Amino acid sequence: MPAPAPSRIAALDVARGLAILGTLATNIWIFSHQGGFLGYLTDPLAGTAGGAARAAQALLMAAANGKFLGLLMLLFGIGLAVQHASARRRGLAWPRSYRVRAGILFLDGLLNYLLIIEFDVLMGYALTGMVVAWLVTTSERVQRGVVLACAAAHVAVIGALTAVLLVVPAGDPAEALARPNPYADGTWWELVLLRLDAVVLFRAEPVLILGLGVVMFLAGRFLWRAGLLVPDGGRWRRRLMVLGLGAALPVDLGLNVLGGQAGAFFARYTTAPVVALGLLALVAHLGVRRPGQPPSWAARRLAEVGRTALSCYLLQNLLASALFYGWGAGLAVAAAQHRLPATVLGWLLVCAAVLVFAHLWLRRFPRGPLEELTARAAGARRAPAAVARQS
């Protein structure tokens, strides 16, 4: 296993920051929909009039759709690989030591789901991590078999659901704006109750992508072990950039823009994860091509978000909710006739707030607030086990 290098760690932080802000670029269109998540599922482009504006919105949505979901999966896989290697060096029981962090992450996701947004990803990542943490203790042959089986099953399920979307008529967009609309008219507490009532619908995606998560987590672990993030990994980086950005990205954009809701659904869970491989390779390439040179201003700011990724993820969800939902500023309804510029402006405002928060926080503390709480909770949980082994 290659030893970590400074440029490698910097590239990981930059990639995490890019993934966090990119996730917001996907979710911001849900926040800005008059009908919230329910309305977005029925008619994602609602509220944008004019052919040019709708085309621009479709292209912006396509650029983010699924790519950063896949990038986060890869980064979680790399993080799991780093923690596995650390646990082996320190003599900690595995996967028991990882289950502590995964359990804390699941709790973070549960609170995010109940109190802030219904499209949380942390719960799914926590469950996937628990599965993969056990898989890394098995042989390489078993892991390859699991990857092939999960990939085949995932593509089959997504293909079947895409066929259903092509056959079944789309829902009436007017239903998404039916009164009372909890996103526009409801209180914060009424949205909490909505998430409890519709938990099966709102938590369907983490179940749907469990197989994809296993594949991407293990892919991230493999690429880390193969040296993707060190200077000698140029061959892997070039191959993945050609595959993800040269081959998969045009197909992905075509499916999103020209394929309607069925095409966007299929692309989100099939071609977008391949594009994510190219994105990770590109960030790694930019991070190692000038060893010894100071990073750019943009790279430093993204790295700060990456170092406080969990805190920034929850913060941006809270800020976007307060900006667009009725219990806050209500911008989704107030700017409904100008959804495209309002959404872009909202994304820029929230990103700016997150960047400022990360920068100011790290000037005084070594890691984000939630990262610090997680580290302390995991350390306190491991301490009794270490004492027991010594005795």
pLDDT, residue 8, reads 42
Question: Measured between alpha carbons, how far is 221 from 229 in angstroms, rounded to an integer?
Answer: 12
> Which residues are within 8 A (CB) of 79 and not within 5 positions of it... i.e. 6 or more apart?
none
Contact 25, 123 (CB under 8 A): no
- Non-local (6+) Cβ contacts of 196 within 8 A are 114
Question: Measured between alpha carbons, how far is 147 from 127 in angstroms, rounded to an integer?
Answer: 17
Say if CB 1 and CB 225 are below 8 A apart.
yes
Residue in the block written with tokens 């086990």 = 385
3-state SS string over the chain? Answer: CCCCCHHHHHHHHHHHHHHHHHHHHHHHHHHCCCCHHHHHHHCCCCCCCCHHHHHHHHHHHHHHCCHHHHHHHHHHHHHHHHHHHHHHHHCCCCCHHHHHHHHHHHHHHHHHHHHCCCCCCHHHHHHHHHHHHHHCCCCHHHHHHHHHHHHHHHHHHHHHHHHHHHHCCCCCHHHHHCCCCHHHHCCHHHHHHHHHHCHHHHCHHHHHCHHHHHHHHHHHHHHHHCCCCCHHHHHHHHHHHHHHHHHHHHHHHHHHHHCHHHHHHHHHHCHHHHHHHHHHHHHHHHHHCCCCCCCCHHHHHHHHHHHCHHHHHHHHHHHHHHHHCCCCCCHHHHCHHHHHHHHHHHHHHHHHHHHHHHHHHHHHCCCCHHHHHHHHHHHHHHHHHHHHHHC
Q: Is the peptide bond before 182 cis (omega within 30 degrees of 0)?
A: no
| Type of residue found at 86 | S
* Alpha-carbon gap, residue 134 to 322, rounded angstroms: 39
What does the pLDDT read at residue 290?
A: 65
Q: What is the pLDDT along the chain (391 residues), one digit of tens a residue?
A: 444 444 446 889 999 999 999 999 999 999 999 999 998 988 888 877 778 888 999 999 999 999 999 999 999 999 999 989 888 888 888 988 888 889 999 999 999 999 999 999 999 999 999 999 999 999 999 999 999 999 999 999 999 999 999 988 665 555 555 567 899 999 999 999 999 999 999 999 999 999 999 999 999 999 999 989 888 888 999 999 999 999 999 999 999 999 989 999 999 999 999 999 999 999 999 887 666 677 889 999 999 999 999 999 999 999 999 999 999 999 999 998 899 999 999 999 999 999 999 999 999 999 999 999 988 887 755 544 443 343 3
Question: What is the structure's pLDDT at 233?
Answer: 87
Q: Is the pTM of this model over 0.85?
A: yes
Sign of CA dihedral 369, 374, 380, 382: negative
C-alpha 55, offset from chain centre: 25
Cα separation, 313 vs 292, in Å, equals 30
Position 5 scores a pLDDT of 40
Q: What's the confidence (pLDDT) of residue 386? A: 43
pLDDT at position 179 is 64
CA 134 to chain centre: 22
d(CA 332, CA 38): 14
Angle at 273 between CA 269 and CA 138, to 5 degrees: 100
Measured CA to CA, the distance from residue 20 to residue 71 in angstroms comes to 10
Query: What are the tokens at 92?
Result: 């900690």
Cα 49 to Cα 51: distance, rounded to the nearest angstrom = 7
Q: What's the chain's length in residues?
A: 391
For position 220, what pLDDT does the model report? 95
Both tokens of residue 200? 């099966």
